[in-house]
Amino acid sequence: MDLAKIEEAVRMILTAVGEDPDREGLLDTPARVARMYEEIFAGLHRDPKQELSARFHVEHGEMVFVRDIPFYSMCEHHLLPFFGTAHVAYLPSDNVVTGLSKLARLVDTVAKRPQVQERMTNDIADVLFTELNAEGVMVVVDAEHLCMNMRGIKKPGSKTMTLAVRGRYESDLRMREEVLQLVRYR
């Protein structure tokens, strides 16, 4: 990541909006923003498939479900955050599973990119389905978008839910409803 170029761009933005990037409160802002971008866009430089490298054989092939995985991402249209929770379910093939933390790492890696929520949801599902050769995958993402809250339509508190299904979850509505019930369960 080109931190010097980010710093230069932030200084230009500050000047363009009528601020003085050399005033006391803003002196270190370009460098802070550059370091922040390095962190929040780290997923651009990581292969999400590698997050699923740990595999284990288990005695059953029942659904694996991890709920309420928090994430933070950036809307590619306005470069404003969207954030919320991801819920990930999959049906192992040949009784092969990955570590539970690997599912959270997958969500984190995919989230740390400029994107739209719809793509993020599908990317998580595609990686999980392909890399684990899962019989089925279902990903539900529930998020709040600052581009809807603080600008434009200005509807704070509104949530967007996206869903991606693969394999058996596409054809078996009972299985899909089971996951949705687990998402709603409190």
In this predicted model, what pLDDT tens digit does every residue of 5-27 receive, in sequence order? 999 999 999 999 999 999 999 99
Q: Give the per-residue pLDDT at 165.
A: 98
pTM of the model: 0.95
Catalytic residue among 7, 51, 75, 87: 75
* Token pair listed for 2: 């080109």
Question: 57 catalytic, yes or no?
Answer: no
87 is in an annotated binding site: no
- pLDDT > 90 in the chain, percent: 98
Statement: residue 61 has pLDDT above 90: no
Q: Give the per-residue pLDDT at 87.
A: 98
Instruction: Provide the mean pLDDT of the chain.
Output: 97
Q: Where are the domains of the chain?
A: 3-40, 50-184
In CATH terms, the fold of domain 50-184 is GTP Cyclohydrolase I, domain 2 (3.30.1130)
Statement: residue 186 has pLDDT above 90: no
CATH classification of 3-40 is 3.90.380.10, yes or no?
Answer: no
Catalytic residue among 78, 144, 170, 178: 78
Question: 78 catalytic, yes or no?
Answer: yes
Q: Which of 115, 136, 109 is nearest to 125 (CA)?
A: 136
Helices (H), 70-172: 100-111, 117-131, 146-149, 168-171
Amino acid type, 48: P
- Given a contact cutoff of 8 angstroms between Cβ atoms, the answer to whether 48 and 105 are in contact is no
